[in-house]
Amino acid sequence: METNLNNQISEEWTVSEDAIGQRIDQYLSHKFPEQSRATIQQWIKQGYVKIDGNDTKSKFLLKGFEKIHVELVLQDRTEHLPQEMPLDICYEDEHLLILNKPVGLVVHPGSGNPDNTLLNGLLAYSSEQKKLVRAGIVHRLDKDTSGLMVVAKDGETQQRLIDLLKEHDIKREYVAIVRGQLSHTGHVDQPIGRHPTQRVRMAVHHKGKPAITHYQPLRVFKHFSLMKLNLETGRTHQIRVHMHHLGHPLVGDPLYGNPNRIAADVVSELKDLVRAFPRQALHARQLEFIHPITQQPISIKIGLPEDMEQLLEDIEYYDDLDTFDDQMDVEYVE
């Protein structure tokens, strides 16, 4: 493929015999793996793809030995502006990167957040991200959730990461501090959909999409629990909704647990500290998957952010149980 500095593609070749019977859009998707099938179909629709000198349609079946010519200038996939910002990159190779998103950083521009998002930072980090849908972002974290995210650096990797997520082949482990004692391992298998009356919220709803969250206690106190959570699905606010459904909302969660509603017998000093915690106490601490290109295992794990570490220390100081069952399947967080 010939691509100049203006991102112009100009290529001509003859279809081989082994492509007989393939749709032209499918065939070109293999020829240009960095482009999505939808993009290829747009090329065909707009006349950038010629077969034996003629326009074609995406459903055209190859008969073999046709002459194909592709001529176009690649357009950036985003109109958002690059904005310099520090990125805490934990892993990077030529295909993808894994970063630690800080609290308060919005992932993608939207209503009320037109810029200064992670997407803008990725565009400034590398001009190649402009060629990708959502600058290579394949999943999100809420603004006030910290932790690990994987970002693609080319189109083929982005599509394969999306496929891994759909097949639940990316292990995503979170740590949360929740209200109440939750001392057993279990899971929540409840569908999640938009709240019927409060549109900014999600809720367990019989018409929602399937959602499964696994949970395990790491440390149990008198009024709070430190939990490890693993997602099988990736619904909006999934952990927050499911833990609220269990009756153990996240500390500091303004949508799914009234931050001021704390057990009466919690000591006043701890009440003040918990009520002052400014966000949901949720952190994405581990990503584990098979690299979609190199097929090498990737496992990245990071510790808690400073605010959650401090909150945990405060809870341990003021709220630790007088008697602790050492036989419980509970460990102290790393």
| Active site amino acids | 142
With contact defined as beta carbons under 8 Å apart, do 20 and 79 qualify? no
Give the chain's largest Cα–Cα span. Answer: 82
Residue with tokens 């609290």: 103
Structural element, H or E, at residue 32:
none
Q: State how far the Cα of 207 lies from the Cα of 131, in Å rounded to an integer.
A: 36
Q: What Cα–Cα distance (Å) separates residue 212 from each residue in 1, 187, 192, 234?
A: 44, 7, 10, 9
Q: State how far the Cα of 195 lies from the Cα of 207, in Å rounded to an integer.
A: 11
With contact defined as beta carbons under 8 Å apart, do 182 and 215 qualify? yes
In 3-state terms, what secondary structure has residue 286? strand
With contact defined as beta carbons under 8 Å apart, do 270 and 319 qualify? yes
Structure tokens at 176: 């949360």
- As a dihedral over the C-alpha atoms of residue 282, residue 132, residue 27, residue 169, rounded to 10 degrees, the angle is -10
DSSP per position, 182-207? --S-EEEE--EEE-SS-TT-EEE-TT
Q: What is the number of other CB atoms lying within 10 angstroms of the CB of residue 38? A: 10
In 3-state terms, what secondary structure has residue 310? helix
Bridge partners of residue 100, in order along the sequence: 148
Dihedral sign of CA atoms 12, 46, 56, 36 in order? positive
Structure tokens at 215: 């949970």
Q: What is the CA radius of gyration of the chain?
A: 24
